């Protein structure tokens, strides 16, 4: 029986990101993935938000995604685009890039790290005890892990086996996604009828002046709303034909189906993200309509929140209680995503009353304050974890400042490349004492003369010191004193030790 510190069920975007985080921290991690390779058929997700791009930048791999995607102002709410080009971030845009490419690039990164991958084998069951988790695979093999993380999608077997409830709201709309040949070319782009939304496009496209320009040849990507929301299982070509005729009056001679799937606006969230030694992340923890493009991004950020915490507990640096902060921080984030997504679905309905409501919402989003608030939320840049009262930076993502250090100029995100925390001291050298934690938290003396700004909030006062967690969120802010610093260090990075130990 093979043994690992952590086993991840599912090698999609969330599972891959978590594996990378754990491997960077020196943890023995394995992925169990039912697919033989990373290739996926079809693609619901179509891009990366500004905050996810920042997360990838923190690990030094964002350029891999930027090289293949298309930068554009794709942040939006329901039927309107929200410009974030004036936001204080290096990535004040979204990236149009299909999910299959996102996963392929992540897999390439993980392939450079010491991660065991059990491909072509799915998880079929597990039993946890006080010491670990025994995991059964579809080929009859068994694995033993200290912890199991379910990144195995909305129908998560890990969640069901763990007995974690998945409350929420049933579907009110159903849509078919497909790629196929058509005898007649449909009108490319997004359209709305009395039945709902439908869209036509092609795999290859460019974004010019904020508009999508599709290739002139090739199979057609289709998204069409079905009548009713009671359909289950995989749709057929005939289902797609009937939906097209209902929405467009014709099926455009559709044939040569390459792939087909169905999605709904069902919205559910795991009651808890942790049960003993079992965790949930990504779609296993929360499902909702893809409108707004927050699903994949929320999952990747789940992984970055959980990874460093698991690593510290596995290494004995922090107590098990640290792992409870994963649910405490990420559950409210996804709960908000569900509410915002349901609101967008409601605004896409086509009756006269919804049209009137949509007009008012569009007017409100035209106000500068409303635009900044909602755009910061939709881009992921407004996330704030509740660490108590204090400086506006506390609990928010640390800006990627251009710093001057004794070793020369550097960026904040460069200091986070190895998924380690950092304490930035902007005051006098020697003004902060973290000797008992010096083996775990690098202390960097730095200067920064520019403005301190937060998306959606604007300018904030300059701190004298900032403690940044490995996920890029601010755990403590110094304002010319080190009050509370040792408490924060103990809370996040373990009790002080007299003898240095390697991280």
- For the CA atoms of 149, 154, 156, 162, the dihedral, rounded to the nearest 10 degrees, stands at 80
Does the pLDDT of residue 499 top 70, yes or no?
no
Does the pLDDT of residue 221 top 70, yes or no?
yes
Lowest mean pLDDT among 33-37, 394-398, 445-449: 33-37
**To the nearest whole percent, how much of the chain has pLDDT over 90?**
80
State the Cα–Cα distance between residues 401 and 419, nearest whole angstrom.
Answer: 17
Does the pLDDT of residue 214 top 90, yes or no?
no
State the Cα–Cα distance between residues 133 and 295, nearest whole angstrom.
Answer: 28
State the Cα–Cα distance between residues 224 and 241, nearest whole angstrom.
Answer: 10
For the chain, the domains span 2-168+268-378, 174-264, 402-493
Give the architecture (CATH level 2) of 2-168+268-378: 3-Layer(bba) Sandwich (3.50)
Residue/partner pairs of 367-376 with CB below 8 Å, 24 or more apart: 371/82, 371/83, 372/455, 372/456, 373/456, 374/77, 374/82, 375/75, 375/77, 375/82, 375/83, 375/84, 375/87, 375/455, 375/456, 376/84, 376/87, 376/455, 376/456, 376/457
The CATH class that applies to domain 174-264 reads alpha beta
Per-residue pLDDT tens over the stretch 123-148: 999 999 999 999 999 999 999 999 99
Determine the average pLDDT of the residues in 195-206: 84
Question: pLDDT at position 78, please?
Answer: 83
Does the pLDDT of residue 503 top 50, yes or no?
no
Does the pLDDT of residue 419 top 60, yes or no?
yes
Does the pLDDT of residue 496 top 90, yes or no?
no
Question: pLDDT at position 232, please?
Answer: 73
Does the pLDDT of residue 111 top 90, yes or no?
yes
Question: pLDDT at position 238, please?
Answer: 93
Residue 10 DSSP code? -
Residue 402 DSSP code? E
Question: pLDDT at position 501, please?
Answer: 46
Question: pLDDT at position 351, please?
Answer: 86
Question: pLDDT at position 498, please?
Answer: 62
**To the nearest whole percent, how much of the chain has pLDDT over 70?**
97
Residue in the structure block whose two tokens are 């991660």: 115
Determine the average pLDDT of the residues in 31-43: 77
Q: How confident is the model at residue 43 (pLDDT cuts 50, 70, 90)?
A: low
Per-residue pLDDT tens over the stretch 294-352: 999 999 999 999 999 999 999 999 999 999 999 999 999 999 999 999 999 999 888 88
Q: How confident is the model at residue 227 (pLDDT cuts 50, 70, 90)?
A: confident
Mean pLDDT of the chain: 93
- CA distances to 273, 335, 470 from 151, rounded to whole Å, are 11, 18, 21
Determine the average pLDDT of the residues in 425-450: 93
Which stretches does DSSP call E strand in 367-452?
402-405, 408-411, 422-425, 443-445
**Counting every residue, how long is the chain?**
503
**Is it true that domain 402-493 has CATH number 3.40.30.120?**
yes
Question: pLDDT at position 502, please?
Answer: 44
Per-residue pLDDT tens over the stretch 153-176: 999 999 999 999 999 999 998 999
Question: pLDDT at position 314, please?
Answer: 98
Per-residue pLDDT tens over the stretch 359-401: 999 999 999 999 999 999 999 999 999 998 899 999 999 999 9
More confident residue, 488 or 78: 488
Highest mean pLDDT among 227-236, 346-355, 460-469: 460-469
């Amino acid at each position: 029986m093979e043994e690992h510190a952590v086993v991840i069920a599912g090698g999609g975007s969330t599972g891959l990101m978590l594996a990378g985080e754990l491997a960077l921290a020196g943890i023995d991690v394995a992925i169990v993935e039912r697919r033989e390779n990373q290739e996926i058929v079809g693609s619901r997700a179509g891009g990366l938000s500004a905050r996810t791009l920042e997360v990838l930048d923190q690990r030094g791999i964002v350029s891999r995604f930027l090289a293949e995607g298309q930068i554009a102002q794709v942040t939006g709410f329901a039927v309107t685009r929200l410009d974030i080009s004036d936001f204080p971030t290096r990535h004040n845009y979204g990236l149009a890039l299909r999910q299959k490419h996102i996963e392929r690039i992540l897999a390439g990164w993980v392939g450079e790290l010491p991660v065991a991958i059990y491909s072509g084998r799915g998880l079929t069951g597990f039993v946890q005890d006080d010491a670990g988790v025994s995991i059964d695979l579809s080929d009859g093999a068994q694995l033993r892990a200290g912890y199991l993380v379910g990144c195995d999608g909305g129908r998560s077997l890990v969640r069901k086996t763990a007995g974690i409830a998945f409350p929420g709201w049933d579907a009110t709309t159903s849509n078919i996604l497909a790629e196929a040949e058509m005898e007649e070319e449909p009108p490319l782009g997004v359209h709305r009828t009395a039945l709902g939304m439908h869209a036509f496009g092609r795999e290859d496209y460019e974004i010019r002046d904020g508009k999508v320009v599709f290739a002139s040849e090739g199979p057609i990507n289709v998204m069409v709303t079905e009548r009713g929301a009671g359909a289950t299982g995989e749709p057929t070509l005939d289902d797609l034909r009937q939906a097209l005729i209902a929405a467009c009056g014709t099926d455009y001679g559709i044939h040569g189906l390459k792939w087909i799937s169905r999605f709904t606006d069902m919205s559910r969230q795991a009651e808890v993200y942790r049960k003993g030694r079992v965790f949930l992340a990504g779609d296993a923890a929360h499902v909702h309509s893809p409108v707004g493009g927050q699903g994949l991004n929320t999952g990747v950020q789940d992984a970055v929140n959980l990874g460093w915490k698991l690593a510290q507990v596995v290494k004995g640096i922090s107590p098990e209680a640290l792992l409870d902060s994963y649910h405490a921080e990420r559950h409210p984030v996804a709960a908000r995503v569900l509410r915002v997504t349901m609101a967008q679905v409601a605004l896409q309905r086509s009756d006269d009353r919804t049209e009137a409501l949509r007009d008012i919402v569009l007017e409100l989003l035209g106000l500068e304050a409303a635009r900044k608030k909602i755009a910061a939320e939709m881009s992921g840049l407004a996330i704030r974890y509740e660490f108590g009262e204090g400086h506006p930076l506390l609990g928010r993502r640390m800006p990627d400042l251009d710093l001057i250090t004794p070793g020369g100029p550097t960026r904040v995100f460069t200091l986070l490349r190895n998924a380690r925390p950092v304490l930035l001291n902007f005051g006098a050298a020697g003004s902060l004492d973290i000797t008992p934690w010096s083996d775990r938290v690098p202390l960097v003396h730095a200067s920064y003369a520019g403005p301190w700004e937060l998306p959606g909030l604007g300018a904030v006062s300059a701190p004298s010191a900032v403690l940044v967690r490995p996920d890029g969120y601010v755990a403590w802010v110094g304002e010319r004193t080190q009050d509370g610093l040792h408490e924060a260090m103990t809370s996040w990075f373990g009790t002080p030790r007299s003898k240095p130990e390697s991280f």
